[in-house]
Amino acid sequence: MPVKKIDVVLGTRPEAIKMSPVVLELRHRENFKVRVIATGQHTDMLAQALAYFSLEADVNLGIMKSRQSLDYVTSSVLLGVGDVFDADVPDAVLVHGDTTTTFAASLAAFYRRIPLGHVEAGLRSFDMGRPFPEEMNRVMTDRIATWWFAPTELAKSNLLREGAAGERIYVTGNTVVDALRAAAERARKPSGPLASLGGAPFLLLTAHRRESWGTPLESICKALLAILELHPDFRAIVPMHRNPAVRDVMTDILGEDGRIILCEPLDYPDFVWAMDNCSLILSDSGGVQEEATSLRKPALVLRDVTERPEAVENGSCILVGTDGERIIAAAESLLSDPEAREKLLERCRENPFGDGLASVRIADALYV
């Protein structure tokens, strides 16, 4: 079997967390030569995630600048990744998910007729404005892809409906479960900002979505304050995304409250510990919906629509949007009513996001 040269392109924290298990699995096998190309759409958040898996990028384009525009990221990734492909043409390219790195790298592969594998293919919210621009990024990436690694049967059915060739769709599970298993094995005692929780019950909040910037994010933050008013024994931990559009709002509204720990992004195992040990997760993140489901933790999804309906239908996630009253009411029903909480968790059956062997299935599919 000749050696296949695979370029894995990634740019942001979730791509690093969810593609690291794939890189490690491919590197395990003699018939793949893997090059990790970081676009540097994220800097420190990307490095933090890769470091946890003891990985470094082979090439880093380092494109990030403060408050970067979508045009800037798209064009820099397209040009930069294209040059890297031209210098040493791979046999195949792998991308993940729905970021601007994902789409622009896919386009660079398409322009060179290099076959493309899309990991986490087929997710759809069916609303191009939410999440923005991720829904469009994933639709366009799927249009370009040669192989689709769909995390669930539902994702596969979305792809089939759009005309993807069934024999090149592989239902693998989501690689986040692979990553989560690795992190759980290395579970550690709370340190740093987590240690200062001092054993109190706590809420965990993350928010960063572009469509929530401004008023929706303000209302999320005010809702957190209101929930803490109703539950004075609780504390909250808020690992802030590095985006200044997010930080400025969070710091303004939450910065003065002594019960809230506003901190830097947590290392992956620390964040997993926080998800596992908090009383309630509040998040607009994509990956956190899958992780909360996998850990059977109640989570309020701070969005109006989700491309991960499995998390809501079969998991512990409740779609609440960004309206303050709705967030407070949903939190209240779970924090004050243990029965409601138990009922929610009873619904969780087999993990809809897989068994932690997605990377193995992806490597098997690429072996041919």
Question: Could you give the residue numbers annotated as active site?
Answer: 98, 120, 134, 208, 210, 241
Q: What are phi and psi of 225, to 5 degrees?
A: -60, -45
Segment lying near ligand UDP (by CB under 6 A), choices 28-36, 119-127, 266-274, 320-328: 266-274
User: Residues 315, 301: contact at Cβ < 8 Å?
Assistant: no
Please choose which of ligand UD1, ligand UDP, none residue 73 contacts, taking the beta carbon within 5 to 8 angstroms, the exact cut-off set by kind.
ligand UD1
Which partner from the list ligand UD1, ligand UDP, none does 133 bind, CB cut-off 5 to 8 Å by kind? ligand UD1
Beta strands 202-206; 299-301: pairing state? unpaired
Among candidates 366, 367, 307, which has minimal Cα distance to 94? 366
**Beta carbons of 321 and 283 less than 8 angstroms apart:** no
**Strand pairing partners for 239?**
263
Rounded CA gap, 367 and 348, in Å? 34
- Asked if 14 interacts with ligand UD1 (CB under 6 A), we say yes
CA distance linking residue 16 with residue 10, whole number of Å: 6
271 binds ligand UDP (CB under 6 A): yes
For ligand UDP, which residue has the nearest CB? 285
From 2, 30, 54, 67, residue interacting with ligand UD1 (rule: CB under 6 A): 67
Taking CB under 6 A as the rule, does residue 294 contact ligand UD1?
no
- Residue 130, SS3? coil
* Interatomic CA distance for residues 362 and 359, integer angstroms: 5
* Interface stretch with ligand UD1, choices 11-19, 115-123, 165-173, 334-342 (CB under 6 A): 11-19
Classify 307 as helix, strand or coil. Answer: coil
Q: 107 to 166, contacts with ligand UDP by CB under 6 A?
A: none
242 contacts ligand UD1 (rule: CB under 6 A): yes
Candidates 90, 117, 173, 239; binder of ligand UDP (CB under 6 A) is: 239
Give the footprint of ligand UDP on this chain (CB under 6 A): 13-14, 17, 206, 208, 239, 265-266, 268, 271, 285-288, 291
